[in-house]
């Protein structure tokens, strides 16, 4: 349920087990992040909605997240789009009671769930952004992945200045589809990754690939694996962060392996076979199990 006041803000009700501060820990993990800004617990983001740049603040209030529009009143359509984005971004529609009941009894998850209770999977609602980020992050460390994303955004995204700060949008598929491999190589992307990103941009621009279509597929992972450049890790990452699949499980993820090594107090990382055995109890909630384990590394 959303409440509006003079159209300059709207409140989105949050679940009783929601912890905004915990979510901000994840959002604040890189100083290179340029798609939003965090200042004194206020989250500010720029989106292109309905063809217009819309800047908004996200502020916690009792039982809700308040979306404020500091540059004036957007249209009804744009307000609804902003609200929908925030709901997806913070995964506010998922009922986690079943996950918590399972995790509290699980020898691996019980401690992290208690420690980070209220954390939600921080999503990437835009499919193009999720796919590009998955490709960028393949086989490199997180710091360099953020460097590449920052360059990508600042070279090809749109921006505006508000109170002396510049805010950026993620580039659209249309903006990227007209580029060349050389344009992306200039950012220090590999030639192969540049080709993958251009291919994804082209498919989305032509209408051959879109979020609504993917969500209707009987086997989403199989459909994602057909995209050039998307392997098992990338497909499960996109399913987890963008397509709201609670059973998505990036088994080969290095962060997951490191987190499990620490939680199990082992001298070596567990094998994929060992992780599969540990995760039998997580059926249907592998994405949340993974995200909470990632949180333990921050």
Alpha helix stretches (DSSP H) within the chain: 20-27, 76-89, 97-104, 110-115, 127-136, 142-156, 173-177, 181-185, 191-206, 211-216, 220-225, 232-241, 254-263, 272-278, 286-295
226 by Cβ neighbours in 10 Å (0-12 / 13-18 / 19+) ranks as exposed
Select which of 17, 88, 183, 253 is catalytic: 253
Is the distance from CB of 141 to CB of 131 less than 8 angstroms? no
Is the distance from CB of 22 to CB of 119 less than 8 angstroms? yes
Q: How far apart are CA 205 and CA 174, in angstroms?
A: 6
Secondary structure string (H, E, C) spanning 234-252: HHHHHHHHCCCCCCCCCCC
Q: How far apart are CA 111 and CA 296, in angstroms?
A: 10
What are the residues facing 38 on neighbouring strands? 43
Q: How far apart are CA 203 and CA 197, in angstroms?
A: 10
253 carries an active-site annotation: yes
Q: How far apart are CA 244 and CA 113, in angstroms?
A: 20
Active site residues: 253
């Amino acid at each position: 349920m959303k409440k509006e006041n003079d159209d300059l803000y709207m409140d989105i009700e949050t679940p009783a087990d929601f912890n905004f501060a915990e979510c901000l820990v994840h959002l604040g993990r890189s100083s290179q992040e340029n798609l939003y800004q965090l200042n004194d617990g206020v989250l500010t983001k720029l989106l292109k909605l309905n063809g217009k740049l819309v800047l908004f603040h996200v502020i916690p209030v009792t039982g809700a997240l308040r979306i404020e529009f500091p540059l004036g009143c957007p249209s009804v359509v744009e307000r609804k789009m902003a609200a929908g984005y925030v709901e997806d971004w913070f995964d506010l529609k998922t009922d986690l009671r079943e996950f918590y009941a399972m995790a509290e009894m699980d020898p691996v998850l019980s401690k992290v769930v208690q420690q980070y209770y209220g954390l939600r999977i921080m999503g990437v609602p835009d499919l193009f952004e999720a796919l590009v980020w998955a490709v960028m992050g393949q086989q490199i460390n997180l710091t360099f992945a953020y460097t590449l994303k920052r360059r990508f955004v600042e070279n090809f995204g749109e921006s505006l200045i508000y109170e002396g700060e510049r805010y950026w949008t993620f580039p659209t598929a249309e903006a990227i589809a007209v580029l060349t491999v050389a344009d992306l190589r200039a950012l220090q992307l590999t030639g192969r990754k540049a080709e993958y990103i251009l291919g994804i941009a082209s498919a989305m621009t032509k209408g051959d690939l879109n979020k609504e279509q993917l969500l209707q597929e009987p086997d989403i992972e199989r459909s994602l694996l057909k995209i050039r450049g998307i392997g098992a890790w990338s497909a499960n990452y996109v399913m987890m962060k963008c397509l709201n699949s609670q059973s998505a499980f990036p088994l080969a993820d290095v962060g997951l392996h490191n987190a499990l090594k620490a939680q199990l107090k082992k001298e070596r990382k567990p094998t994929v076979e060992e992780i599969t055995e540990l995760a039998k109890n997580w059926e249907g909630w592998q994405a949340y199990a993974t995200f909470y384990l990632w949180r333990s590394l921050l």
